[in-house]
């Protein structure tokens, strides 16, 4: 465990552009030290019928069959969402949309407690000893969930197609 903790000691660098992340990548991240840090663009289905406003995943047709998740299987919480932030056509329940904002960790048990970032986790871990680190991580994973602090929203069509193109762009970028 010690070596595992040490390996991830380098603090992440803030992503200063809206990098496309899949909802699956955010919602299913098991280790919050690996969570995307910074600006993010996500494409999904807007859901506002329940008390919490969230963004559901969309079926990506071009993915291999074993990695596909049908639309609405998982979702990620939206923070600070307001209809003023929607550009162009109004956004309603079950509309496909692209959101841009920032990834944060949100405390589900105490909604008023401060929202955390991936960097905060790294910085706190660097100040603790191993036993404390393990305890801290367990606490964080139990109470906090990844969420998106929304800055811009826009209703779109052809979401699955757009995700495919943007993923290819991302791959192009990481190959360099």
Partner 1 sequence: MDEDEQDKERDLEDVLDNFFIRKPNQSNANNANKNFSNVGPTIHKAIPLTLRDISRSRPDADRSNVFITKNWHFQTCVAYAFVAGRCVPNKTFYKYIIDDGTDSMELSIYANIAKHRQIISLYNEATVLSGVSGTEEDKKLSGSMSRLLLEAKESIDASAIAPGMNLMLEGRPNMFRGKVGFEAFSFCLDNDRSRKMEIAFNDHLLDWYKNNMAKEN
Taking CB under 8 A as the rule, does residue 83 contact partner 1? Answer: no
Q: Smallest distance, Å, CB 44 to partner 1?
A: 14
Taking CB under 8 A as the rule, does residue 36 contact partner 1? Answer: no
176 is written with which tokens? 């360099």
φ, ψ of residue 151 in degrees (nearest 5): -110, -40
Taking CB under 8 A as the rule, does residue 14 contact partner 1? Answer: no
Q: Smallest distance, Å, CB 87 to partner 1?
A: 3
106-135 binders of partner 1 (CB under 8 A): none
d(CA 72, CA 86): 21
Taking CB under 8 A as the rule, does residue 93 contact partner 1? Answer: no
For the window 134-173, what string marks contact with partner 1 as x by the rule CB under 8 A? ------------------x-xxxxx--xx--xx-xxx-xx
Q: DSSP labels for 62-118?
A: TS-GGG---TTS-EEEEES--GGGEESS---TT-EEEEEEEEEEEESS-TTSPPB-H
């Amino acid at each position: 465990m010690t070596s595992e903790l040490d390996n991830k000691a380098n603090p992440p660098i803030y992503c200063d552009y809206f990098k496309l992340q899949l909802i699956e990548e955010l919602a299913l991240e098991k280790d919050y030290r690996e969570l995307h840090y910074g600006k993010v663009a996500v494409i999904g289905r807007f859901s506002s019928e329940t008390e919490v406003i969230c963004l559901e995943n969309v079926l990506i047709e071009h993915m291999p069959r074993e990695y596909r998740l049908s639309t609405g299987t998982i979702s990620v919480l939206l923070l600070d969402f307001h209809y003023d932030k929607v550009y162009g056509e109004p956004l309603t329940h079950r509309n496909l949309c692209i959101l841009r904002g920032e990834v944060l960790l949100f405390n589900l048990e105490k909604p008023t407690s401060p929202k955390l970032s991936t960097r905060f986790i790294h910085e706190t871990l660097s100040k603790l000893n191993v036993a404390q680190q393990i305890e801290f991580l367990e606490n964080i994973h139990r109470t906090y969930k990844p969420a998106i602090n929304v800055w811009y929203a826009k209703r779109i069509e052809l979401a699955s197609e757009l995700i495919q193109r943007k993923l290819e762009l991302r791959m192009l970028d990481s190959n360099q």
